[in-house]
Structure 1
Amino acid sequence: MKIGLFFGSFNPIHIGHLIIANYMANYTDLQQVWLVVSPLNPLKKKSDLINIYDRLEMAKLATEDALNLRVSDIELKLPQPSYTIDTLTYLQEKYPEHEFSLIMGADNLASIKKWKNYELLLRDYHIHIYPRPGYEIKEFKDHPSITITETPLMELSATFIRKAWKEGKNVQFLVPDKALKFMDSKNLYR
């Protein structure tokens, strides 16, 4: 099976994440998308990150009715910090029957040279790129491992949602209902 791995902190998961994952699972050659909830991105600050178990639970609640979307906690089982190449290597060994691809935004592609063993990622894995506001894809545009998709452009961010929620603003329709109820019940991000 062709599986796309969509890595993220999902802090919190929101409709932008789900639209991207759903697009990749239904409008590309991928048969399934796994949302890989990362404990901590080595290239980001930890400051606003709530615990991984709450982020995993919100992602599971948000995707429980989706046919071809799954949530993965694989990076919890690997040494920290978690690097994409290490996770891919582990998954390929654990599930040799699957073909894994990466899903990433144009912003991540622009900084891929900062990633651990990025050359191996480009050599050994296919990468599906979705557009991000303010990022034009120039470098790697014609790379044989890169597929640039027409995923709807999302200008929604978890940072925006956290800030709005903290200020008491309504984020209904931006965060899936079940995840929003979970956030509210645990008083997350406030």
Structure 2
Amino acid sequence: MAVGLLGGSFDPAHPGHVHVSRAALARFALDRLWWLVSPGNPLKPRGPAPLARRIDRARAVIAGDPRIAVTDIEARLGTRYTAETLSALLHRYPGIRFVWLMGADNLADFHRWQDWRGIMGMVPVGILARPGQRISARRSVAARTFAPFRLPAPASRLLARSDPPVWCFVNIPMRDDSSTALRRGGVWPPAPPQGRP
């Protein structure tokens, strides 16, 4: 089974996450996709909304798509960095072929992630283009370092069955949904439920 892993704070989850997930399922021929809702992002100075609230929102946003599962497995595993999470998942689920998924904006900064080279050596990596990040992502340190291992976009359906290091950059129809914009607009986080007087 090929399972895509889309990690992030999902603070909040929105239709853009669903759009990217469905594109990844199709373009990389994945059987399932897991949203790894992280307890927090070590690269962000401000903490996210409470995990339970973000999980509830994510489950509501996917609207019962049976191919997408929302999980707090990083909190349960006690992992903080992607490399740690991937190592734990590969140990726990040896029969699954995992594919790490990320937007092109993350590829641009990927060399700042802890053990980013190790991540590339653990699992195939699928990159999905996002608005404004195509050029910087393709010229990034990670893209240049792993250029010999790039799978051409027309062969993207082979990614999950390829041995790492391997990565593939695909363009998908753009959406400009943004968790940051939702937070700035006062839509998120929602007010906590009020108890009865």
Query: 2:184 matched to which residue of 1?
Result: 163
Q: Shift of the alpha carbon at 1:147?
A: 0.7
- Distance, in Å, in 2 between the alignment partners of 1:28 and 1:125 is 13
Deviations 1:132-162 (A, max 9, x none): 2222122416342111112222322111112
Q: Which amino acid aligns with 1:24?
A: A
Secondary structure of the equivalent of 1:53?
Answer: helix
TM-score between both structures, scaled by the size of structure 1: 0.82
Q: Tell me, which stretches of 5 or more residues in structure 1 are unaligned?
A: 167-179
- In percent, how many aligned pairs have the same letter? 29
Residue 102 (structure 2) aligned to one of 101, 104, 109: 104
Q: Shift of the alpha carbon at 1:185?
A: 7.0
Q: Shift of the alpha carbon at 1:31?
A: 1.3
Q: Aligned pairs, how many?
A: 171
Query: 2:154 matched to which residue of 1?
Result: none
Distance 1:27 1:78, change over 3 A: same
Deviations 1:145-186 (A, max 9, x none): 1111122223221111122235xxxxxxxxxxxxx9x94674
* Larger helix percent: 2
Across the aligned residues of Structure 1 and Structure 2, the Cα RMSD in angstroms comes to 2.1
Deviations 1:93-129 (A, max 9, x none): 1111101111101111111111111111112211110
List, as ranges, runs of 4+ consecutive aligned residues in structure 1 with deviation greater than 3 Å. 182-187
Residue 130 (structure 2) aligned to one of 106, 129, 132: 132
Q: Tell me, which stretches of 5 or more residues in structure 2 are unaligned?
A: 150-165
- Distance, in Å, in 2 between the alignment partners of 1:107 and 1:143 is 21
- Distance, in Å, in 2 between the alignment partners of 1:116 and 1:99 is 22
